[in-house]
Amino acid sequence: MCGGIEYQGEKIYFPNPQARLPVRNRSGDVTWGNRKQEANSNFPNGGWARLNSIYAGKWKPWHPRPVLIAADQFMEKDQDAQSHWIPLDQRMVIQGLLAERKKEQRVYVVTIDTPPEYAWIHDRWPRLLRLKQ
């Protein structure tokens, strides 16, 4: 489900309340999702948005916009809580959803079903996009 991202040598983990993701074409990083222990009820808990829930309109109250998250690799944990870092080709990015409420923004990693070769790690996977050159 993408519990961590590494970009330019910095590892960013979702459980950290200070986690901010590098969103391309935005000035500065954006706070990654919303944690249960945060007092912010303006946003859904978690750091992920299922693609089918976006298509179903469940994110409409947060005025969702697609964004691109820069990453060199991302981390998934398997059933035994072992971390697996998956490197990305330099032309690949992670699709994100930018949510907004009351002039505050949060970014969520868009997830899809896991490719068959990685299904043993997790059942959800970040949606990866290839940049046009």
Total domains present in the chain: 1
Predicted model pTM: 0.93
pLDDT, position 27: 66
Closest CA to 51 of 124, 107, 115: 124
Residues forming beta bridges with residue 85, ordered by sequence position: 75
Q: CA nearest 35: which of 18, 54, 10?
A: 18
Give the list of residues 6+ apart from residue 54 with CB closer than 8 angstroms, or none: 64, 97, 110
With a cut of 70, which residues of the chain have pLDDT below it? 27, 40, 133
CATH number, domain containing residue 121: 3.90.1680.10
For residue 27, give its domain range. Answer: 4-130
Q: What is the pLDDT of residue 20?
A: 94
